[in-house]
Structure 1
């Protein structure tokens, strides 16, 4: 993809949620703890670029998306959109121009759609609330255009229907149409195909890729599925326990990972065929540790079979391991060790 100016830049972004202590804690004056959902990440997205944010449930991916769409407030750091600092801007009136440019596709389409509203009213709602149309004719034209762009044809056949009358794939297309109606420049897609059949997933992904090509749309694609991210993304950022542990081009992250966690994600993908080999890195057990009790040193070391004493005492910085490829692991430059881990995916 050609070089593009950054449309969004996150600088040391932090989101901490305070933990309210009990009566006994307050009586003893114990300080309240905090869940460090996002703990200092740097990320940029170029115009027309698709960046995938990958990680397990609980790693902080959705919180990043909610901050970008101004549905959550950061604790620290900065968020720049088109070079303008949007970190502290709040209030419906002040955010109208921003919401025109940044939209979100939610994971559960059925929960995102009001069951009492028709498809026309659902897609028209952002146009009305952002005051982007002047009359009923223009409103109908914009709704029709959005539905057609999302693959619902002919659009008029869906105007008077309700969400329960549609299939899962059609409901997801309606959610996409609602985001497209305002003609945004950036869309945050939070697990947009995780609840769909495999055949429908391909159709929805193709819609998103086509929209990027047609409108130079930037997309942050949030997923737990590394192979799915490789299919759609230009770059992949891997997130673990509130931190970005590896970032690079889709091919580099998928076929030349330099962090044990990325290797584990890749190894967890089923391999089909007579030549499929069992992953050498043991499967990850259990859930991501609590973000209220972040391990000292490398955050991944309690689950990492390659961890050593330094991992338990000192957090590794993100280092360059290749063109546009950074990894936060003490072994990232130790190619023989890393290659031993990724032998099963080469």
Structure 2
């Protein structure tokens, strides 16, 4: 039976980026503002669990992933890994054991891969930097295992290739292999298939699921696509303007959403067939959100068709609306 204990916990996590005021603001001593990219979220990920973090662009998804992988420093809250507080840990030597266990798959394989390095050197780089191998034989063996796990077979055929000699799917597999080479216990996958053809996406998703099943590896899958999250995730957390507005099992969030934003994400997915014309595709109405000007009360109310006076004054707490299903909406019961 797989170990389902929590490997990672975020407690009231906040990430605010300061905004410089204009010339007159500085002259008059007015304080600058801040972009509240992540504004107090609580999230846990269990061993062997796939959690999808879903939201539109600007909701704070990637910022959460960068904090977890220690590529960004939080403004407040805690990051706990196996119960150990990693929030204030900094420096390459202090973070070396952590980076061995937590890796990230970046969205853009074109940017993530050095065009001057071969596939072998790209996958071998984290093994060398973290000092996880003792000799060249071990290095070649670990690189081969990582490439094979990512679906690049036979691995030796790819050692001497450069990124421009690979297809888009193969490049993404090399990025995955680079993360797998160190044998991590948690991977943060930031939109790993958004730049791939639809025909390739299923293959990459299957690779990630197979890796979870084989190694009991935890995965935070970041995406803006709710149906895609349902395909791969055990649980889905919906992020809006830096806040978690709903979280629950993949089936519950997809087929029984209780927050208007989740409903809007589900309804905005185009359906093949039926009588819906292009002009009839539903879209979110209202003011486009800004993390620098968070509205008072429920931050979704400027775009919510069900909003009422209370939504404009008070921020709704997350309440339990089903087994392990939480929603932050005054109408959720």
Q: TM-score range by the shorter chain?
A: over 0.9
Corresponding residue number in structure 2 for 1:341: none
Corresponding residue number in structure 2 for 1:186: 186
Q: Which whole-Å deviations, capped at 9, do the CAs of 1:190-225 have from their partners, x for residues lacking one?
A: 000000001100000000000000000000000000
5+ residue gaps in structure 1?
A: 334-346
Over the residues paired in the alignment, what is the CA RMSD in angstroms?
A: 1.8
Q: 2: distance between equivalents of 1:311 and 1:140?
A: 58
Corresponding residue number in structure 2 for 1:177: 177
Corresponding residue number in structure 1 for 2:244: 244
Corresponding residue number in structure 2 for 1:60: 60
5+ residue gaps in structure 2?
A: none
Corresponding residue number in structure 1 for 2:211: 211
Local SS of the residue matching 1:290:
coil
CA contact (8 A) 2:9 2:43 kept: yes
Q: Which whole-Å deviations, capped at 9, do the CAs of 1:91-131 have from their partners, x for residues lacking one?
A: 00000000000000000001000000000000000000000
Residues 286 and 142 (structure 1 numbering): CA distance in 2 closer, same or farther, change over 3 Å?
farther
Local SS of the residue matching 1:271:
coil
Q: Say yes or no: does 1:133 pair with 2:128.
A: no
Q: 1: distance between equivalents of 2:181 and 2:160?
A: 17
Deviation of 1:22 after TM superposition, in Å, equals 2.1
After alignment, is 61-70 or 1-10 more displaced? 1-10
CA contact (8 A) 2:258 2:327 kept: yes
Corresponding residue number in structure 2 for 1:223: 223
Local SS of the residue matching 1:211:
helix
CA contact (8 A) 2:286 2:302 kept: no
What does 1:1-346 align with in structure 2 at a 5 Å threshold?
4-274=4-274, 283-285=283-285, 288-333=288-333
Local SS of the residue matching 2:196:
coil
Q: Which whole-Å deviations, capped at 9, do the CAs of 1:171-192 have from their partners, x for residues lacking one?
A: 0000000000000000000000
CA contact (8 A) 1:264 1:281 kept: no
Deviation of 1:3 after TM superposition, in Å, equals 6.6
Local SS of the residue matching 1:294:
coil
Please give the TM-score of this superposition, normalised by the length of structure 1: 0.93
Q: 2: distance between equivalents of 1:18 and 1:135?
A: 46
Aligned residues: 333
CA contact (8 A) 1:105 1:175 kept: yes
